[in-house]
Structure 1
Amino acid sequence: MSLYLCADCGGSKTSVAICDTTGRILGRALGGPSNFAYLTLDDFISAVTEAVSNALKTCAAPPSDIPIPLPPAGASPFAAAWFGVSGVDSPAAVAAITPALSTLLGIPEGPRLAVANDTHLLAAPVRMYPDVSHAVTVIGGTGSNVVTFRETEGSLQELGRIGGWGWILGDEGGGFHVGREAIRQIMLEHDKASIGGAPPLETILTGQIMEYFGIKNSDVMEILPIIHLPDPSSNKNLSPDSPPHHHIPREKRLSSLSPLVFKAAFEHGDALALRILCTCASHLASQVAVLLSNGGDNAPRAVKAEESLISFGGSLVGIEGYRKLILDDLAERGHTFKYVEFVGDAAAVGAVSLAMVRRALDNVQE
């Protein structure tokens, strides 16, 4: 049986899907983090090996209870494979991991083994719309990234990109940005109240964040030393009895606040939380707009929204209300897309798309 494999390799998990030539999903599995920017090659391959092996065992009839070892070269069950890897942002990174993946899967380096950034997987739905050939992919999870593509003869050509620089330099509209903006807005309200003579209004979100950090009184200034605590690896005063947030790296102390913001905004209608999400959505929309054509601009690789698909992927943009904030902001800037998709399972969509494209190419060659 010819199998088609797609792996979505991200910062929190590795998701693998395997389908047959008809696009029927036969195997699924999840593995550990595989963002190549944060791992050695050995650790990356280890995460992929575990996920692919576990996915293969679910293809067996009946499913195997133990991982199925990957085949040697020449005996691969895979007709083709597509890897979308977070942290692979250059030809050098692709070249670094492709030989190891080729050896792992028994697929020769070449057209049947595609390795690219994970944003490429989000562009796969453009192949389902025969009247558009351009896609704008927007990742909005812990981080963010925007990439534009043109689909031609079964291949996705990257046109432009912005973002994906990590939480220190960017990730506008992502989880870290939401958490950081929440603290900024809370502190700003506190500071403005210092000249107003009255305390800042108490909000649902503020109370939730104070409770999350174990702050018993109403003094929001106690948030600051918690946010600026050293990372656990360098905190000499850390003990097993320290509060839970002391054991969390500083980056995640902020990104872990985003679920509280979304809950306060969309379940409780908290005005502060809604304002925070509007701010973050606008920042992400401004990133998208950089890659779009304004009609008269001199940007030959810019994409026209009205002739394109916008495809979202990631936990934050998976929330319909947040996507609407982004799309509404883009519309106000004059950019309304012909089609809108949310890809909740990039590995599965990628596997089905890969099978479709390879089947079409093989038919042409025959």
Structure 2
Amino acid sequence: MSLYLCVDCGGSKTNAVISDADGKILGRALGGPSNFAYLTLDEFTAAVTEAVSNALKTCTSPPSNDPVALPPVGDSPFAAAWFGISGVDSPSAIAEITPALSTLLGIPAGPRLTVANDTHLLAAPVRMYPEISHAVAVIAGTGSIAVTFRENKGELEELGRIGGWGWILGDEGGGFNVGREAVRQILFEHDKATVTQKPLESTLTTAVMQRFGITDIMEILTIIHLPYPPTESQLTQDVPDYVLIPREKRLSSLSPLVFKAAFEDGDALALRILRACARSLAADIAVLLDDGNNTTPRAVKAQDSVISFGGSLAGIETYRQMILDDLAERGHVFRYVKFIDDAAAVGAAGLAAAHRTIGNGQA
């Protein structure tokens, strides 16, 4: 079978897409979270297996209810596969994952099996514009990362990167950062009011207190710092749902409340929070760019590049524009701006196209 598989592995879900040799999407399915930085190899492989198996089922019409064997018995159904994996940031991580994926798909390690960071899937738009050769790929979802690329003889060469360090160390502009900044700003306003006696009225503060079922905002400190995993006794009790989720998700789960308060309610505090988060991500991106004084050949000129966004937060146009506006204030205006809402589909079609080119002797 000439099937081409692309799997976008992120912090909230696994997106598997299968195309034919002409790039037509034949099947797709979602699986659970698969950020490799937060999972064991077995947990990561299980999430990928679920998504790919279910995607294979949808390749028939009507979709087959019969389980698809992975690893395959005999030849692999895939001519090639491309994995873009969040949390894969080093050659050692790639080396650890590749044998498991090779076994799972029945594809030998080598040119038919590509394993890279998920930002690589976003660099594809550079091939749409023959007059440029550089791309800046930015992911703002649960976490964040920015990577620059140069197209070189049909290959994407990674130039520089910043971020992708995870919630403890970074993820500026991502969902965790938004949730953390929301709590910080709410607490700051509360503490400031102890002096001014003028509490700030905010629909966001009300929504956060309702989310955690509290009547005093200072109670949020106990909730945020509550240890995880829950004890055995807690698991057998009727406890609030935030007890049962990791601490970082208690914060990242607040992100939708911030966006709603900002863009639906016009809440001043929520808008301030999002501008601060957009500014921190823009500052990271600017490190990779040529500001006119940067003479390194690995710095990218915005005016000669495409910036390609991915991730759930970057998919919100108003927030994406906040990031672009901050970059413009720093002197970085991009020639092209793209948002890719389905990186796995773009990757599957691109993978098929690349192999058609090789088959035609054009590579």
TM range (shorter): over 0.9
Deviation for aligned residue 1:238: 6.5
Q: Kindly tell me: are residues 154 and 105 of structure 1, through their superposed partners in 2, closer, same or farther at Cα, counting changes over 3 Å?
A: farther
CA distance in 1, matches of 2:135, 2:64: 39
| CA shift digits 1:209-245 (9 cap, x unpaired) | 11111123xx322222222222243596675222222
Q: Give yes or no for contact 2:148–2:160 (8 Å, CA) kept in 1.
A: yes
Name 1:91's counterpart in structure 2: 91
2:357 aligned residue (346, 355, 360): 360
- What is the identity, as a one-letter code, of the residue corresponding to 1:344? D
Superposed CA offset, 1:160-215 (max 9, x none): 0111111111110111111111111111112222222x231211111111111112
Give the counterpart letter for 2:310 in structure 1: G
Within-5 A mapping of 1:333-352:
333-352=330-349
Structure 1, residues 261-318: CA drift from partner, whole Å, max 9, x if none?
0000001110100000000000000010000011221322011111111111111111
What is the DSSP-based 3-state SS (H/G/I as helix, E as strand, rest coil) of the residue aligned with 2:358? Answer: helix
Indicate the residue corresponding to 2:184 in structure 1. 184
1:252-331 matches, within 5 Å, as 252-331=249-328
The whole-number CA distance in structure 2 between the counterparts of 1:327 and 1:356 is 31
Deviation sequence 1:94-125 (CA, Å, 0-9, x none)? 11121222222222221121110111111122
Shift of 1:132: 1.8
Match of 2:170 in 1: 170
- Give per-residue Cα distances to partners, 1:122-168, cap 9 Å, x unaligned: 11222222222211111111111111111223321111011111111
**Which sits farther off after the overlay, 35-44 or 265-274?**
35-44
1:309–1:341 Cα contact (<8 Å) kept? yes
The answer to whether the Cα contact below 8 Å between 2:141 and 2:313 also exists between their aligned partners in 1 is yes
In structure 2, runs of 5+ residues without a counterpart are: none
Which amino acid is the alignment partner of residue 207 of structure 2?
A: Q
Q: Which moved more, 1:50-59 or 1:300-309?
A: 50-59
Q: Which of 211, 221, 224 is residue 224 of structure 1 equivalent to? A: 221
Q: 1:306 to 1:46 in 2, by over 3 A?
A: same
1: CA distance, partners of 2:154 / 2:231: 49
- The answer on whether the counterparts of 1:127 and 1:353 sit within 8 Å (CA) in structure 2 is no
CA distance in 2, matches of 1:253, 1:327: 28
Q: Which residue of structure 2 aligns with residue 67 of structure 1? A: 67
Query: Would the aligned equivalents of 1:125 and 1:349 in 2 still touch at CA under 8 Å?
Result: no
Kindly indicate whether the alpha-carbon contact (under 8 Å) linking 1:278 and 1:325 is maintained by their aligned counterparts in 2.
yes
1:258 CA drift (Å):
0.6
* 1:68–1:303 distance in 2 versus 1, CA, 3 Å: same
Instruction: Please list, as runs of the form range in 1=range in 2, the aligned pairs for 1:110-125 lying within 5 A after superposition.
Output: 110-125=110-125
Aligned to 2:6: 6
Q: Which amino acid aligns with 2:29?
A: A
Q: Distance between the aligned counterparts of 2:299 and 2:136, measured in 1?
A: 10
Q: Which residue is 1:212 aligned to?
A: 211
Give the whole-Å Cα distance in 2 for the aligned partners of 1:238 and 1:65: 35
Q: 1:190 to 1:201 in 2, by over 3 A?
A: same
Provide the secondary structure at the position in 2 that maps to 1:51: helix
Residue identity in the other structure for 1:54: N
Report the 3-state secondary structure (helix = DSSP H, G, I; strand = E; otherwise coil) of the residue aligned with 1:67. coil
Kept in 2, the 8 Å contact 1:189–1:200? The answer is yes
**CA distance in structure 1 between the partners assigned to 2:162 and 2:233 by the alignment:** 38
AA at the equivalent of 1:199: K
Distance 1:61 1:222, change over 3 A: closer
2:66 partner SS: coil
Once the 2 structures are TM-superposed, how far is the Cα of residue 74 of structure 1 from its aligned partner?
6.2
Counterparts of 1:334 and 1:74, CA distance in 2:
56
CA distance in 2, matches of 1:20, 1:329: 41
Provide the C-alpha distance between the structure 1 equivalents of 2:48 and 2:246, rounded to a whole number of angstroms.
25
Deviation at 1:4, TM superposition (A): 1.0
TM-score, with normalisation over the residues of structure 2? 0.95
Per the TM alignment, residue 66 of structure 1 is displaced from its structure 2 partner at its CA by 2.3
CA separation in 2, counterparts of 1:35 and 1:207? 32
- Partner SS for 1:59: coil
Q: Is the 8 A contact 1:73 1:103 kept in 2?
A: no
Q: Cα distance 1:100–1:246, how it changes in 2: closer, same or farther (>3 A)?
A: closer
Count of paired positions: 363
Q: C-alpha root-mean-square deviation of aligned residues, in Å? A: 1.8
Stretch deviating more after TM superposition (1-10 or 315-324):
1-10
SS of structure 1 residue aligned to 2:114: strand
Residues 99 and 289 of structure 1: CA distance in aligned 2, closer, same or farther (over 3 Å): same
User: Cα distance, 1:23 vs. partner?
Assistant: 1.1
Counterpart in the other structure of 1:41: 41
Q: Check the 8 A contact 1:238/1:246 in 2, yes or no.
A: no
Report if the CA contact (8 A) 2:12-2:142 is conserved.
no
CA displacement, residues 26-78 of structure 1 (integer Å, 9 cap, x when unaligned):
01011122222222223322222222121111112432112322464862232
| Secondary structure in 1 matching 2:195 | coil
TM-score normalised by length of structure 1: 0.94
